[in-house]
Amino acid sequence: MVDKKVQAKAKAAVTKAKTAAKAALAGANNRRQRKIRVRPTFYRPKTQIQARKPRYPRRSVPKKQSLDKFAIVQYPLTTESAMKKIEDNNTLVFIVDKRANKFQIKAAVKDLYDIDVAKVNTLIRPDGHKKAFVHLAQDHDALEVANKIGII
């Protein structure tokens, strides 16, 4: 019984050796082509860059998003000129965070009040606050939205 196992192992080793000898005779391993160099300048090859896998977090608490929709839109303006804009130009006027850009203002107003915004104009007032003129899309009425918000 043991004799047959040993014979089978020996036979497998012989066949493996024969295939290795055949491959060595064929010379498949030593026929690598040399790369043709076409430029005189030699650049050292790029080495592999490992992905970072830190052993511990560098910050104990992740930085929270400083500008969310509630921080961007601070409050609507209720001045007479703002009321005129609501009635005549289909435009709402808000005081917004100074760091917010027009895209962020548009997204925040859309989220908060469920209205489509056509465009946003901004200016920074002399007192340092940013004022945003939010032009509503044709299918939304600024008067209705102002009533819903509680401006009027």
Specify the pLDDT at position 121.
Answer: 98
Specify the pLDDT at position 29.
Answer: 59
Specify the pLDDT at position 54.
Answer: 93
Q: Could you tell me if 103 and 132 are in contact, meaning their C-beta atoms sit under 8 angstroms apart?
A: no
Tell me which H or E stretch contains 131.
Answer: strand 130-136
In this model, does residue 28 exceed pLDDT 60? Answer: no
- Residue 134 contacts by C-beta under 8 Å, 6 or more apart in sequence? 91, 92, 93, 94, 105, 106, 109, 117, 120
pTM: 0.60
Specify the pLDDT at position 30.
Answer: 62
27 torsion bin: left (phi>0), alpha (psi -120 to 50), beta (else)? left
The CATH number that domain 71-149 falls under is 3.30.70.330
> How confident is residue 1, by pLDDT bands cut at 50, 70 and 90?
low
Mean pLDDT, to the nearest integer, of 132-141? Answer: 96
Mean pLDDT, to the nearest integer, of 107-124? Answer: 97
Most confidently modeled range among 31-45, 48-62, 71-85: 71-85
Q: Which of 14-23, 76-85, 88-97, 124-133 has the lowest mean pLDDT?
A: 14-23
Q: What is the CA radius of gyration of the chain?
A: 37
